[in-house]
Amino acid sequence: MIDTATIRIEKTAQSRINELDETNIPFGQLYSDHMFMADYVNGEWKDLRITPYQNISISPANTTLHYAITIFEGLKAYRNEAGEIIIFRPQANAQRLNISAERMCIPEVPEDLFMDALTELIKLDSSWVPSAPNTSLYIRPFVFGTDEYIGIRPSQNFRFMIITCPVGAYYSKPVNVKIETKFSRAFEGGTGFAKAGGNYAASLYPARLAQQQGFDQLIWTDGKTHEYVEESGTMNLVFIIDGKLMTAPTSGTILKGITRDSVLTIAKEWGIEVIEKPLAVKEIVEAAKAGRLQEAFGVGTAATIAPIGKIGFEDETFELPSPENWTISKRILDELNAIRTGKKEDTHGWTYKV
Ligand code: COI
């Protein structure tokens, strides 16, 4: 049993909050004053502490440096109209972290430890939650093996950490994506559903090749046939075809996005037809060619709802209608923003007040 009441707090002597310019916040470059840490030793989470944000020291033989025994989460805190701080669906992130943990032989982080750590850290760094439109405090919990051992085995010791950074938009313009039909992100039986560091590392080279061709990101397809659309490098994907909202079902190869779930829930409640089915590349390409692909967007914590500008497939590129005229994604984004900022009642229990 963990005594989460005993989080030791060492406050910074000198806040860096004056480095924050809410009118210009690049993603992931400025970190708030404090961070949370706990260590898993002898089968127990111990030494729960919040310290000034700082570098950490690890052995050159650290197992994670060699074998990527690491998982992470992404969630956001917002400032509502009353100036209070709201975190969006943190319990869902705690649960997903533990789904990833099991796959990577990482011990469970109990939900009360996750929530207490998060609450104390955000309370302490509350001045870092921005209030300008389209800004938030991005929260990055992560767990990694800390064994000093270069043999292959599950780590026995771990660290759980949370760091936070104020952010603006992840994508500041429509994202141009290429449908990837050679490289694979995930396979049945692999780790595609887990938010594991290695999944992202392995995606970088194919994404770089696409970036050299002028795209921003990839649309991954299934590893077996490359005939079905899965997810993008930084977000799940949604397509509006003939007024219907279509997305690939989350499975062993696709991350179970929390923003994705929120978007589908809202759309269903509004009576929009939501179709979760294996989405053939052919179907998307034919709809794009025929002008039936009305909207396409990524959904994720960092990306929020990111309109897609162009889709590349083989030697062709299809341009989507201008996002300014999109109705469904815009309406859903407005609804999510209204819930997060307290302008609309949260009927789903998605908001957590710090
Ligand atoms: C998130 O959306 O929170 C993610 O973890 C994606 C990452 C590429 C920034």
Question: 315 vs 177, 223, 241, 281, 289, CA distance in Å?
Answer: 13, 21, 23, 14, 14
From the alpha carbon of 200, which atom of ligand 1 is closest? 8
Which pair of tokens denotes residue 160? 């759980």
Q: Whose CA is nearest to atom 6 of ligand 1?
A: 234
Pocket test of ligand 1: the residue of 301, 305, 336 to mutate, having most ligand atoms within 8 Å of its CB, is 301
Q: Whose CA is nearest to atom 8 of ligand 1?
A: 234
Task: Give pLDDT, residue 333.
Answer: 97
Q: Whose CA is nearest to atom 3 of ligand 1?
A: 74
Contacts of 253 (CB under 8 A, 6+ apart): 185, 186, 187, 188, 190, 192, 193, 222, 223, 230
Q: How far apart are CA 249 and CA 276, in angstroms?
A: 5
CATH of domain 175-340: 3.20.10.10
Task: Give pLDDT, residue 81.
Answer: 87
Span from the CA of 232 to the centroid of ligand 1 (angstroms): 11
Residue ranges of the chain assigned to CATH 3.20.10.10: 175-340
Q: Whose CA is nearest to atom 7 of ligand 1?
A: 234
Q: How far apart are CA 185 and CA 61, in angstroms?
A: 28
Structural fold of domain 4-168: D-amino Acid Aminotransferase; Chain A, domain 1 (3.30.470)
From the alpha carbon of 259, which atom of ligand 1 is closest? 2
From the alpha carbon of 73, which atom of ligand 1 is closest? 5
Task: Give pLDDT, residue 3.
Answer: 57
- Rounded mean pLDDT for each run of 10 residues along the chain, 354 residues in total: 76 97 93 98 98 98 98 97 95 98 98 98 98 95 98 98 96 96 96 97 97 98 97 96 97 96 98 98 97 97 96 96 95 96 94 96
Computed from CA positions of residues 27, 330, 260, 98, in that sequence, does the dihedral angle turn out positive or negative? positive
Which pair of tokens denotes residue 188? 């049945």
Residue 20 near residue 128 (C-beta atoms within 8 A): yes
HSE (side-chain half, CA atoms, 13 Å) at 205: 7
Span from the CA of 27 to the centroid of ligand 1 (angstroms): 11
What SS3 state is found at 64? helix
Q: Whose CA is nearest to atom 5 of ligand 1?
A: 74
Span from the CA of 300 to the centroid of ligand 1 (angstroms): 7
**Quick one: 99 exposed, middle or buried, by C-beta within 10 A (0-12, 13-18, 19+)?**
middle
Q: How far apart are CA 89 and CA 123, in angstroms?
A: 17
Residue 126 near residue 42 (C-beta atoms within 8 A): no
Residue 73 near residue 141 (C-beta atoms within 8 A): yes
Question: 285 vs 105, 174, 296, CA distance in Å?
Answer: 40, 18, 12
Span from the CA of 141 to the centroid of ligand 1 (angstroms): 11
Task: Give pLDDT, residue 187.
Answer: 95
Task: Give pLDDT, residue 1.
Answer: 47
Q: How far apart are CA 266 and CA 303, in angstroms?
A: 18
- Closest to 127 in 3D by CA, of 88, 74, 75, 79: 79
For residue 302, the 8-state DSSP code is T
From the alpha carbon of 27, which atom of ligand 1 is closest? 9
Pocket test of ligand 1: the residue of 170, 185, 259, 299 to mutate, having most ligand atoms within 8 Å of its CB, is 170
Residue ranges of the chain assigned to CATH 3.30.470.10: 4-168
Span from the CA of 273 to the centroid of ligand 1 (angstroms): 27
Q: How far apart are CA 233 and CA 205, in angstroms?
A: 11
Q: How far apart are CA 41 and CA 191, in angstroms?
A: 26
No. of H helices and E strands in the chain?
7, 19
Pocket of ligand 1 (CB under 6 A): 74, 234, 300-303
E strand or H helix that includes residue 120: helix 111-124
Largest CA distance in the chain: 61
Rounded to the nearest 5°, which phi and psi values hold at 26?
Answer: -70, 150
Span from the CA of 291 to the centroid of ligand 1 (angstroms): 31
Span from the CA of 231 to the centroid of ligand 1 (angstroms): 12
ipTM tops the 0.90 cut: yes
Question: 325 vs 177, 262, 329, 331, 333, CA distance in Å?
Answer: 20, 22, 10, 11, 14
Q: How many CB atoms lie within 10 A of CB 77?
A: 26
Span from the CA of 233 to the centroid of ligand 1 (angstroms): 9
Contacts of 148 (CB under 8 A, 6+ apart): 59, 61, 62, 63
Span from the CA of 302 to the centroid of ligand 1 (angstroms): 5
Strand boundaries in the chain, DSSP class E:
8-9, 34-41, 44-52, 70-72, 75-79, 85-88, 136-145, 158-167, 175-179, 217-221, 228-232, 236-241, 244-247, 274-276, 279-280, 293-300, 304-313, 316-319, 351-353
